[in-house]
Amino acid sequence: MALRKIALQPGFNKQDTPTQAEGRWIDGDNVRFRYGSPEKIGGWAQTVNKRLVGATRAQHTWADLDGNRYSALGTNKILALYYGGAFYDITPFANTVATCTITTTTSSSTVTIDKGAHGLDTGDLLKFANITVTADTNFTASDFTTNVFEVQADSTNSFNVVMATVETGSGMTAAGNVDTKPYVVVGPITQTVGYGFGTSTWNASTWGTARAASGVTIDPGNWSLDNFGEKLVATVHNNKTYQWDPSAANPLDTRATVIATNPTASVMTIVSDRDRHLIHLGTETTIGNVGTQDKMYIRFSNQEDFTDYVPTSTNTAGTMQLDQGTQIIGAIQGKDYTLILTDKAAYIMQYVGPPFTFSIRQIGSGCGSMGPHAAAFANGKVFWMSNSGGFFMFDGTVKSLPCLVEDFVFTTAGNNLGINEDSGGNLVFAGHNSLFTEVSWFYPKSGSSQVDRIVTYNYDDNLWTTGTLARTTWADSNIYSLPFATELSTTALSNFPIINGVTAGATTMYEQETGVNAITKFSTGNVTTAVSSSLSSGDFDLDIDGDGEYFMSVSRFIPDFKILNGTCNITIDLRNFPSVTAASSPLGPFNVSSATTQVNTRARSRSAALKIETTNIDQNWRFGLFRFDSRPDGRR
């Protein structure tokens, strides 16, 4: 028989069965499509041989007036800065807990800090200052001030930390003096349910108020990050807003500080770039009173002044109230507008100048956002993942995006993995990769508490892919030459900043689309591991006297790769009926290199499918056409 060509359309079709999806690719991992052909995605390399404490939930890149480039990273524990190949801790402090005393015990590394109503909880981070110790301890002032500490246990009038060494003296008992400087509390690493007392945020007026176990959901710690000119603006989700100024004296040694006169409880903030207003979304109706937070309320500053929020006849400050939904979920800056997404609807906020400053209009309903970072601006459009179970786009009007992987992402029927909507929406992160005209959403699948899946839309080619690339944040290559992304390990220990008594949960920052491998940096050197990839097609059969009427015998196939570095495995998966699990042909999988001209298969079945896999370092590929030699081989 003559060679037969199978033309496979680009993108994944996971809505249909493998038999229905004839002529389509149906599954894969770490692959993309360019110019209609599939290829392995680029590799990644760790930027710094340090791991940030906590899960990074927000990332923002920008440049100052001198052209210095920065990336701010907000984790559920700290606010960090990446600059010049290193990390810097710029986490703001909460209110100082002054004049505490110290208790130590011989042969123990645990130190008790005594202070009534200190307000700290287990897991909080802090630094110490103004240390006075007695002769009864071997601990010196520098033992307290060198590193950050994590609270190990707490009670009403004391909390414990752990030192790097044990007490060798007789020990102090409620003696000496120390000031405690807590880090601002961002929130838990996952969405949790609050119980009883103390389920509010640090220093909030409602702290200590009893709450029903069934009525309180604590969102995972999160940030919104933006730049107002060259200044970084950082808002803790449902909390205060801070700034970091690169023009300050010794800026890399300077922590972010609260912006005076700003609201103290906002869902998020965003800068209206063209007109330079700082917009607080889901914020207080009375500034400074967290009890007045209205999650559908908007407050914006005077133009060019993010400290002035009192509307007057001579400024452009003001407020607005939205009505469709129960809370603002997220917002993103578009070309000349801010797109605001509630849990139910979409709004456009545009600058119109005095006396109204901004206009706002509803542009869609039933298209609420999945989470605060679930939208991305790309190619003049906004794309977002919706809590209604689909994807949307705004290009002047709101449109639902046709999606051939929609059920796989949003449902758990059959082989679909679904998204963890109960706790995962707040973890979704949308990232734009302009190098490959892609918008990706990173999300936790059903049953997962952290991000472990990716779904990608190529807006130039209008196609979708899915995979296992787990990134908690993504920053496009507009400031840096390549994208930056972060990955969480819930079992790894962080080493930035150095924290005495730190618990597991750490973030690694990567430069994406570099090389073909995964490179991890350690103090002893780099470790290179493979970026595995796979791609599977739908079934194909003989169309003689009807589709699949005859069994086919496949005697050989001709490999066709535009790029093939190293080798790859090709499997011919066989099945006689759609309900039967596919199995490899007897001689497969087949190891193929750039020198392979043809492969003898000895395969027989009613239908067959193609699978491409790589698992070793330095492997890279771009596939062309699949041609195989087949003939009819009976009906049973």
Contacts of 529 (CB under 8 A, 6+ apart): 517, 518, 520, 617
| Residue 335, burial from CB neighbour count under 10 angstroms (0-12, 13-18, 19+) | exposed
Report yes or no on 481 lying in a domain: no
Report yes or no on 71 lying in a domain: no
Report yes or no on 469 lying in a domain: no
Please say which residue of 182, 212, 237 terminates a domain: 182
CATH number of the domain residue 134 falls in: 2.40.30.20
Q: Is the same domain home to 544 and 621?
A: yes
Backbone angles phi, psi at 289, to 5 degrees: -110, 100
Please say which residue of 142, 163, 182 terminates a domain: 182
Task: Give me the residue label for tokens 């808002």.
Answer: 235
Tally of CB atoms within 10 A around 494: 23
Position 201 scores a pLDDT of 43
| Tally of domains in the chain | 2
Per-residue model confidence as pLDDT tens digits over 309-367: 999 999 999 999 999 999 999 999 999 999 999 999 999 999 999 999 999 999 999 99
Residue stretches of the chain with pLDDT short of 70: 1, 192-217, 424, 544-546, 634-636
Report yes or no on 110 lying in a domain: yes
Task: Residue 130: give the domain boundaries.
Answer: 97-182
Q: Is the same domain home to 102 and 36?
A: no
Q: How many angstroms separate the CA atoms of 531 and 441, rounded?
A: 19
Tokens of 110: 């645990």
Q: Is the same domain home to 537 and 622?
A: yes
Report yes or no on 559 lying in a domain: yes
Report yes or no on 170 lying in a domain: yes
Contact 315, 302 (CB under 8 A): yes
Report yes or no on 598 lying in a domain: yes
Please say which residue of 153, 182, 211 terminates a domain: 182
Report yes or no on 488 lying in a domain: no
CATH number of the domain residue 19 falls in: 2.60.120
pTM of the predicted model as reported, rounded to 2 decimal places: 0.94
